[in-house]
Chains A and B, each alone.
Chain A
Amino acid sequence: MIKSSDITNAFSNKKLLSGTVITATFVLIAIFGPFVVSNPVQPALDLAYLPPSLRFPLGTDNWGRSVLAELVWGSRISLTVGVVSATAATLIGTLVGLVAGYFGGIVGEVMMRLTDIMLIIPPLALMILLAVYLGPSETTVIFIIAITAWPFIARTVRSEVLTRKNRTYVHAAKVTGVGTREILFSYILPDILPVVLANAVLTVTAAIVAEATLDFIGVGVTSIVSWGEILYWAQQSAFYYNAWWWILSPGLAIGALGTGFMMIGLGVEEITGHR
């Protein structure tokens, strides 16, 4: 349960605070940045491979496009795909975890076995296979990440439900005739919400990395500028021109945004006393 004391604690938690500041900065860049820097679609070959300067703070790529502008525009993809796929994974994982944990028996057993199976199959290999056969698009990438990420959440939610389903408040609710659905969603779910939230935010970090990796391999969305796509092109020629800025900055952006979300997740865990 989220208590009011948790909210006061939230402001004094260093991890949560720094995580929120980092993430909010990227959200603002994604929303307003594209109004400030123009979309770097136009190639200008005479400006190719320029190191960082006042005009191009993060240098230029092989087409002479500003790497900073690409990062700003690409942040939209990374954030959208990261947040949407993590939300989808959290919804599926929470539902499976709730049902598997509460009901047990054959239904729970089958669901957990399915979860275990999904946990063993190497996620990136499965994502590549799905991307190849479903065709590259933003929707596909979101679907693919959600499909491979939900088992981690289902597992955590299930173990949380298991520790709660025999507590007095659940028994009391049952005795007074509260329906199963209401027990699950109005009694148990609010109680484990902090765990769900922390895991959802941690999943965003994993999703951002997964999106970048798929684009980097070339099975993601390569038509729109994204951080992984910048690295996909950078890998092809940056090393020949020693264009380190072209490789360095997208990676640092992914790491910084990922750290932001991760700090939020760890902060929530700390405040609510889990872990």
Chain B
Amino acid sequence: MVNARYLVSRAIGSLVTFFVVLVLNFVLPRLLPESPAQILASNARLPQVVAAQLTIKFGLDQPVYVQFEKYLLGVFSWPPNLGVSYSFYPSSVLSIILQRLPWTLFLVGSAVFVSWILGTLLGIAASMRSRSLFDNSSLVGAIVIYTFPAFWIGLFLLWFFGIEFRIFPVFGAFSTSSTGVLSFLSSAGLHAVLPILALVLANFSGYFLLMRNNMINVMREDFVILERAKGVSDFRIVLNHIARNAMLPVFSLLSMNLGLVVSGAIGIEIVFSYPGVGYLIYQAVTSHDYPLIQGTFLVISVAVILMNFVADVLYGYIDPRAKP
């Protein structure tokens, strides 16, 4: 059973992180030499009258503490009010992000799952033949691939499989000409192959290296020697005893690395023009759409905080030693 104190402390941790993100999001734009009101007014795509109206509507002419109160009230109202996008005017920031969020969750979710499975299995395989040619070459391969930027792995795959050999589509998340549910799904699946492959290549090595090291360490423990002495088969020892124990730190890496995976997804979404929140933040940056940049940062962070909390809770179930 999961310790209630553990749950409460994790929940409080997540809430504090959320609050820090909220404050950062409010303070940073106000570090600019120009005030948000001036930026709003200087945006050419926004009619002057509308800019003036928005300045008053968002209270940008009022003192900072009043603005902060309004900002908090906006975020905590239902549906949350994250402001209006400049470049997609008059769409609200929230509605744009909500359209994009499922794509990123799909991409990141599949990539995390596949790299976790792949890294773990490879780690078990390598540890069973420790110091063999297979072990050494996968070790060097994992280290080398770990040092390439995720976005560059994406660029390389795009060039190789998308342009040189034209096997997979390289632009967007689905073909606009697809009609019907089935053709949409197959098109979306095909479009996701290269981005997911790139993310997996960029992420699996962490799991592989950790799993391999843990396996080798657990193999030396007394209880494994005892099982061997009892005559339990090697295969069963590896699966039921060693891998089970070696898996725990890998699982906590899974939760700790979510932020890094999402970061990697930003670069890869840009490369493949994949319509997730990562590509959105890029579009927002290139069009100086400040409300959209902030909103996207907020939503990405909240998604990671939530996923992190869920992973922590699951970890509490798996490892009874988890303490606050």
Contact = CB atoms under 8 A, between A and B. Distances in A.
A129 B294 contact: yes
B266 A235 contact: no
Contact of B147 (A122, A134, A258): A258
B184 interface: no
B173 interface: no
B290 to A, nearest CB: 8
A128 to B, nearest CB: 6
A262 B28 contact: no
A212 interface: yes
Contacts of A23: none
Interface in B261-298: 262-264, 266-267, 270-271, 281-282, 285-286, 290, 293-294, 296-297
A231 B144 contact: no
A126 to B, nearest CB: 7
A219 interface: yes
Given A217-B270, A254-B149, A244 B159 contact: yes
B263 A262 contact: no
B24 interface: yes
Contact of B281 (A125, A234, A251): A125
Contacts of A124: 262-264, 266-267
B285 A132 contact: yes
Contact of A117 (B16, B29, B293, B294): B16
A133 B156 CA distance: 31
B143 A121 contact: no
A119 B260 CA distance: 9
Contacts of B25: 129
B301 interface: yes
Interface in A91-132: 113, 116-117, 119-126, 128-130, 132
A217 B149 contact: no
A40 interface: no
Nearest to B217: A275
B192 interface: no
B143 A263 contact: yes
B259 A119 contact: yes
A255 interface: yes
Which one of B156, B263, B267 has the highest number of Cβ atoms from chain A below 10 Å of its Cβ? Answer: B263
Nearest to A250: B152
Interface residue tally of chain A, by bracket? 35 or more
A33 interface: no
A239 B28 contact: no
Interface residues of B, number: 53
B295 to A, nearest CB: 11
Nearest to B153: A251
Interface in A52-91: none
B144 A247 contact: no
A130 B27 CA distance: 11
Nearest to A256: B147
B152 to A, nearest CB: 4
B17 interface: yes
A275 to B, nearest CB: 7
Contacts of B285: 128, 132, 217-219
Nearest to A239: B163
A148 B25 CA distance: 16
Nearest to A155: B256
Nearest to B143: A262
A248 interface: yes
Contacts of A134: 31
B147 A113 contact: no
A125 B149 contact: no
Contacts of A213: 149-151, 267
A266 interface: yes
A242 interface: yes
Contact of B260 (A123, A219, A258): A123
Contacts of B271: 235
Contacts of B196: none
Given A117-B17, A217-B266, 5 more contacts: A121-B259, A123-B260, A235-B271, A244-B159, A275-B213
6 contacts: A124-B267, A128-B297, A129-B28, A130-B28, A216-B149, A217-B285
